[in-house]
Structure 1
Amino acid sequence: MHWTARQHTGPGKYEVYERLNREENHMSINPGESWAVNDEDRSTVTDGTEALRMVDMILGFTLSQAIYVAAKLDIATALAEKQRSVEELAEYAQAQPDFLRRIMRTLASHGVFTQYDADNFGLTPLGSTLIASEEGSVRDAAIMFMETQYKPFSKLVETVQTGKSAAQLYYGRPYFAQIALQPEQLLGFTKTMAATSSQMVLPLLDHYQLPEGRVVADIGGADGTLLAHFLTQNKDRQGVMFDLPHVVGSSSKVFAAANLTSRVEIVAGDFFQSVPTGVDIYIVKQILHDWTDDECRQILHNIAKAAAPGARVLIIEMVVPDGDIPHPSKTIDLVMMGMLTGKERSREEFRSLLSEAGMMLDQVVETPGYSVLETTVLAAV
């Protein structure tokens, strides 16, 4: 949905209005509705409205690049304290004032900034997610996605035709192998995963109660943000932080800051080879969607092999709904297709993978975005 009109009631106070709403466009939908077109709606296809809407979608790359410019130049941080003129922002960012004004004007029309007049801009709640120093900022994500994934996506047609990932076609090597060669990109990826946890996953889990079990392991836990969250909420639990050797070291600072160092064992390893034993609850967050079905079977098999029967496995992923209902998992699925070898999965696809690994899907705890698939290990297979 795009935003065009704004009513100002003072700095930081604004209202936005939908440009395409149900009165203006019969094919606009509410969350949970289908995109199906009935006979009455077909007249809108020939009046030019849908062509304009399609062109707007085609030009979506301009918006993502404009956000990247704002993130890279750290514009949101400059506006964190007060509104500023284009000239002030240009001096701060070492940019050309007229070009920056056009970027700001476009982003203001999408609710990222507030435009008070031709030369002065302020920050909105949406734009504040790009402030560098804010906990859970997605500024690193904006930079990481554009600098490591934007260009490879030009190969998406070849991906669909050949079955090879766009990253492999563009870089000549798998995506994770590529960013491992670039320390700044690897750090950006790790920060992005941390931001995903703190801004998108953790709030949804604030009221989620862990199953019984004393030792909790985060498999592929990046910087440990999620494990720290659960251990802070559950004072009687011990943690195991598990990830690749060049990744796992960053978690020590997170645990130290949360006063959890004495309760966490940091273990380096590769979940395609093995995972820690002696664990009651294994957490697998946003891991399986990175990999093919065969690779997921290997990961799950290694967990089942390490775990005692009755151990719990919590898989935190988006679950793709059936039909043409809009859902963020369907967009993320294209990222998986283009950059990796994995995919987003439906509930039945998860159930099948788990069953083959000797696990039973007990229930799916649904949230607006991510879901927790609660699973029990039956036996190693």
Structure 2
Amino acid sequence: MSLVGTMPCWVTESDWKLSRSPAQTAFQIAFKTPLQRFSWVIQNPQGLIPLADHIQVLGDMSTLSIVADYSWEQLETPIIVDCGGGEGGLISAILDAHPSFQAIVQDMENVVALTSSIMKERRPRDIESGTLKVEAHDLFQSQPRIGNEYSFILRHILHDWPDEEAAAILGNVARALGPKSKILIIDMVAIPNVDSTATTSAKLFLPDGDDKHPDYCVPSHFGSASKLVSGYSVHMLSMMNGCERSLREWENLVKGCGLRITKVYSLRAHTSVIECALDAQGLL
């Protein structure tokens, strides 16, 4: 709610209202800090567990659908790396359904201690056998897991960031891929907030009831199909200048990192799986 109260000041602030920086948002004004959100959490560890729990709850909303609706068996790599995997909920669900995989959970150094303790408690055999590993990794640094053994998950990561930072994160993973590797971007795909079957008539708003004008009025469902994605987009905007992206925006981001979208899997959830691979033509 601190962010909500600060947003009017932010969007009218002369120096920041057109900024795309993750360090010039309502978050900095509300918390009186020059730090972007993740840097602030590092310096204020009391906020780490609530943040990790919040992200885990957001992930849990779609985990069952991700495991059931994506074709995990068609991956050609034996190891799945969950980049920014938090408390390890998604990887645990994948391993339960597909025990032939090995897995690595990567996250910030201050998160890894929490994740390690959770995984040792919940999956001790996987930890002891090496089937599951937890390691610290900064998404803005080069990905250390390189080659055909690895496919990568980026769930609810790229929507946090503006295009420049999102491209830096995605590019680091792209440079680690082998020809058989995949990157699975798990995020929302924003859709236009329109309804071609709207029954509301524009005649009420046009002089003399001129029915030759196009119907530009509010759709009959008031854009209800876009409420969730729009709400998250505003939330990410206020914290990090991030956003939920349309398919065209995802295509532009992916292409700029030397990748191509091989398929978009619609899920029985609010997210989609945007499957990406190296773009051989783009590398020529």
TM-score bracket, shorter-length normalisation? 0.7 to 0.9
1:308 CA displacement? 1.5
Partner of 2:62: 201
Q: Tell me if the contact between 1:217 and 1:282 (Cα under 8 Å) persists in the aligned partners.
A: yes
| Bigger RCO (CA 8 Å, 6+ sep) | 2
Residue 37 of structure 2 is aligned to residue 175 of structure 1: yes
Task: Choose from 226, 240, 243 the match for 2:104.
Answer: 240
* Mapping for residues 356-375 of structure 1, pairs under 5 Å: 356-367=256-267, 368-375=269-276
For each residue in 1:111-133, what CA deviation from the matched residue of structure 2 results, as whole angstroms up to 9, or x when unmatched? xxxxxxxxxxxxxxxxxxxxxxx
Residue of 135, 138, 148 corresponding to 1:267? 135
Structure 2 vs 1, CA of residues 206 and 300 (structure 1 numbering), >3 Å: closer, same or farther?
closer
Identity %: 26
- In 2, Cα distance between the equivalents of 1:153 and 1:178? 19
| Matching of residue 288 in structure 1 with residue 158 in structure 2 | yes
Q: Could you tell me how far apart the structure 1 residues matched to 2:40 and 2:139 are?
A: 19
CA distance in 2, matches of 1:294, 1:219: 18
Per the normalisation by structure 2, the TM-score is 0.76
Letter in 2 for 1:332: Y
Asked if the contact 1:225–1:254 (Cα under 8 Å) also holds between the matched residues in 2, the reply is no
User: How far 1:371 moved relative to its partner?
Assistant: 0.8
Does the 8 Å CA contact 2:76/2:180 hold for their aligned counterparts? no
Name the CA distance, whole Å, in 2 between partners of 1:167 and 1:255: 32
Give the aligned partner of residue 25 of structure 2.
165
Match of 1:312 in 2: 182
Equivalent residue, structure 2, for 1:322: 192
Distance in 1 (CA, whole Å) between partners of 2:229 and 2:249 is 14
Distance across 2 between alignment mates of 1:241 and 1:203: 18
Q: Hey, which bits of structure 1, 4+ residues long, moved more than 3 A?
A: none
Cα deviations by residue, 1:162-181 (Å, 9 ceiling, x for unpaired): 24310012222322222333
2:118 aligned partner, one-letter code: V
The answer to whether the aligner puts 1:153 opposite 2:4 as a matched pair is: yes
Deviation at 1:312, TM superposition (A): 0.3
Which deviates more from structure 2 when the two are superposed, residues 267-276 or residues 330-339?
267-276
**1:334 is matched with which residue?**
234
TM-score (norm 1): 0.57
Structure 1 residue 373: deviation in Å? 0.5
Aligned-partner residue type, residue 169 of structure 2: I
Aligned residue runs from structure 1 range 51-200, under 5 A: 150-161=1-12, 162=17, 163=19, 164-171=24-31, 172=33, 173-198=35-60, 200=61
Tell me the distance in 2 between the aligned counterparts of 1:241 and 1:276. 13
Q: CA shift at 1:330, angstroms?
A: 0.6
Q: Which runs of 5+ in 2 are unaligned?
A: 195-222
**Paired residues of 2:262 and 2:276 also in contact (CA < 8 A):** yes
Assess if the C-alpha contact under 8 Å between 1:285 and 1:317 holds in 2.
yes
Counterpart Cα distance in 1 of 2:155 and 2:117:
20
1:339 Cα deviation from its structure 2 partner: 1.0
Question: Where does 1:20-31 land on structure 2 (aligned, <5 Å)?
Answer: none
The answer to whether the Cα contact below 8 Å between 1:228 and 1:260 also exists between their aligned partners in 2 is no
Inter-CA distance 196–260: structure 2 relative to 1 (3 Å threshold): farther
> What residue is the counterpart of 2:217 in the other structure?
none
Larger radius of gyration: 1
Query: Helix, strand or coil: the match of 2:260?
Result: strand
What residue number does 2:92 align with?
228
CA contact (8 A) 1:153 1:167 kept: no
- The answer for unaligned runs of 5 or more in structure 1 is 1-149
Distance 1:232 1:254, change over 3 A: farther
Structure 1, residues 302-353: CA drift from partner, whole Å, max 9, x if none?
1111121331000100111113433211100011111112111011100110
Residues 1:218 and 2:69 aligned together? no
* CA distance in 2 between partners of 1:371 and 1:305 (Å): 23
The root-mean-square deviation of aligned C-alpha atoms, in Å, is 1.8
CA contact (8 A) 1:309 1:377 kept: yes
